[in-house]
A and B are shown apart, each in its own frame.
Chain A
Amino acid sequence: MGVYYILQRELRSYFQSFIAYVLIAVFLLLAGYFFYTDLVMYVAFSYQKVSFNKIWAYYFNDIRYVLMVAIPPLTMRLFAEEKKLGTIELLWTYPLRDWELLTGKYLAALFFLSLMLLLTLLYPAITYFLYHIDITSVFVGYFGIFLLGSSFIACGVLISSLTENQIVAAIGTFGLLLMFWFLTWNEAAANEKLMKILLNISLFDRLYTFTKGAIDLKDLVFFFNFHVFFIFLTWLSLTTRKWRGIK
């Protein structure tokens, strides 16, 4: 039950402190802009030659960057704010386990991500009535985007648990995501072996199969491991107080 109460408070806090509205507005503006340009590009260059479904690959790849901008401000406050206010000190003296606190906060951000993505379903819905599109592949793409976004959240939650400064949390998360994006860019600097490893941990490249409307078990395993890794680190950072002093 503790998880649910934390989740409830976090969501309420999002919507009471105005962040929610600004984030949703910016997210929809950028996502809408990308959808529009992708559509225009499709009409201009590949009309009738390429299957209409190709547009979604472009669209989802663009959404990655919008999420990269939207997730850090979403997750920055989760722990940093509680630390700054000192309220985490009280939470830690309530009959509440660390994993309940962590799960509640993570789910709140996940819920918010789902809401943002849900609102963008309007774009495929409109297209659906004009052209016949393959609904399944759109949903697979959305599923991939959701997994990617939740991985971003896992990063953000960890960084937020390490600092009491929200700006530091946001910049840190953004930096980490940026690094995951750049990871496989510089092929010249990395030798073949290293590149193979880098490709394996490259978060952003994991979306490609999804955008084509297919699900690869390897990708699912990757996302699962990614989450486990970051959430475990966050849990660790929360419990360190139990073996060392905190300020």
Chain B
Amino acid sequence: MIQVENLTKYYGPIRGIEDITFTIDKGEVVGLLGPNGSGKTTTMRILTGFFPPTSGRALINGYDVTKKPLEVQRHTGYFPERAPLYPEMSVTDYLGFVGKVKGIKGEKRKEQIDNVIVTCGIGEIADRLIGTLSKGFRQRVCLAQALLNDPDILVLDEPTIGLDPRQVVEVRKLIKNLSRERTVILCTHILPEVSETCNRVIIIHKGKLIAMDSPENLQEKIQKNTQTLFQYYGGNGGLGSELMGLPGVINVEKKEANFSGAQALVIQSEKDEATLRAISTFITQHGGPIMEMKKISLTLEEVFLELVTEEEL
């Protein structure tokens, strides 16, 4: 469980993050989103005890990151963006070293090393030197070091960058599995990854928390108006300009129709029922039968862009 209260970090006069507050429960995967330089890494570094915040506090399983950093670090696993490793060490030697430094004792250490080797699928390369490994394997070895102490809190900074599509799917599946008994913070630029794996999304922009909700709710919230796809027959020239004249219609865009000889329009309009009814009535009266009427939801990517640009205005 992660509790963050009014977390602020300044680098001299430069603001890293300001006044960030959120709580993440056990078993949750939370996506941390934001443009470059927005304060994601700063937030993660505070949570992993890398450096303390300027003010505010962060509690990991009830332990204050500033006051009990070692206690916190014993229960966290961190995957930094670059997946840094020692090239001259073999995978097992490396995991042995990490295990020792993380304070895992004797038999338990061996057991844990065997566990993460299986979990991360690095059995076949366990005796190889890290320097000779492919990018995909190195990512997984780095993930293994994060999991070695069986952490309650897992902080992952862009864990799927540089993997091939099959590995991306595997790693996402792995993250989902891992999240059952842990709290996971997943920082990423790949937005479909968030909608696929995360229960909740936190969006940070210019050091401030600007949104926190489930991906679905976030999409819902952002849509002040709705986009609907209409496919219909009839209506020479497409009815586009006439539809624009209806009250509540904001924008009309022509699309390629799936039905031969049909017209297709994406109509952006106000969300209320009356407007939609008016549109469909207009189409059937002035054109022909409607073949399809479908609500188009915004992708998370669009939500993200919209939130961030809105804040800038």
Q: Is A179 an interface residue (CB 8 A)?
A: no
Chain B 172-212 interface mask (CB, 8 Å, partner A; 1/0): 00000000000000000000000000000000000000000
Pick from A6, A12, A17, A86: contact of B82, CB below 8 A.
A86
B11 and A245 contact, CB distance less than 8 A: yes
Chain B 79-109 interface mask (CB, 8 Å, partner A; 1/0): 0101011111100010001101111000000
Pick from B80, B82, B101: contact of A96, CB below 8 A.
B101
Q: Is A51 an interface residue (CB 8 A)?
A: no
Distance of A155 Cα from B86 Cα, bound (Å)? 25
B144 CB to closest chain A CB, in angstroms?
Answer: 12
B97 CB to closest chain A CB, in angstroms?
Answer: 5
Q: Is the interface of A mostly helix, strand, loop or mixed?
A: helix
Q: Enumerate chain A residues within 8 angstroms of B50, measured Cβ to Cβ.
A: 89, 92-93, 241
B16 and A245 contact, CB distance less than 8 A: yes
* A96 and chain B: residue at smallest CB distance: B101
Which residues of A (15-64) have their CB < 8 Å from a CB of B?
Answer: 16-17
A244 and B86 contact, CB distance less than 8 A: no
Known: A13-B86, A90-B80, A93-B76. A5 touches B97 (CB 8 A): yes
Q: Is B48 an interface residue (CB 8 A)?
A: yes
Q: Enumerate chain B residues within 8 angstroms of A131, measured Cβ to Cβ.
A: none
B88 and A16 contact, CB distance less than 8 A: yes
B116 CB to closest chain A CB, in angstroms?
Answer: 15
Pick from B69, B87, B97: contact of A9, CB below 8 A.
B97
Q: Is A91 an interface residue (CB 8 A)?
A: yes
A244 and B101 contact, CB distance less than 8 A: no
B101 and A89 contact, CB distance less than 8 A: no
Q: Enumerate chain B residues within 8 angstroms of A86, measured Cβ to Cβ.
A: 80, 82, 84
Q: Is B52 an interface residue (CB 8 A)?
A: yes
Distance of A178 Cα from B290 Cα, bound (Å)? 87
Q: Enumerate chain A residues within 8 angstroms of B103, measured Cβ to Cβ.
A: 1, 95
Pick from A1, A13, A94, A242: contact of B98, CB below 8 A.
A94
Q: Is A2 an interface residue (CB 8 A)?
A: yes
Q: Enumerate chain B residues within 8 angstroms of A93, measured Cβ to Cβ.
A: 45, 48-50, 73, 76, 78
B101 and A6 contact, CB distance less than 8 A: yes
* B84 and chain A: residue at smallest CB distance: A86
Distance of A91 Cα from B101 Cα, bound (Å)? 9
Q: Enumerate chain B residues within 8 angstroms of A17, measured Cβ to Cβ.
A: 88
18 A-B pairs whose Cβ atoms sit less than 8 Å apart in the complex: A5-B97, A6-B101, A9-B86, A12-B89, A13-B86, A17-B88, A85-B84, A89-B84, A90-B78, A92-B50, A92-B51, A93-B48, A93-B49, A94-B98, A94-B102, A95-B69, A95-B101, A241-B50
12 A-B pairs besides A90-B84, A95-B74 with CB distance below 8 A are: A1-B103, A9-B86, A85-B87, A86-B84, A87-B86, A89-B80, A92-B51, A93-B48, A93-B50, A94-B73, A94-B101, A245-B12
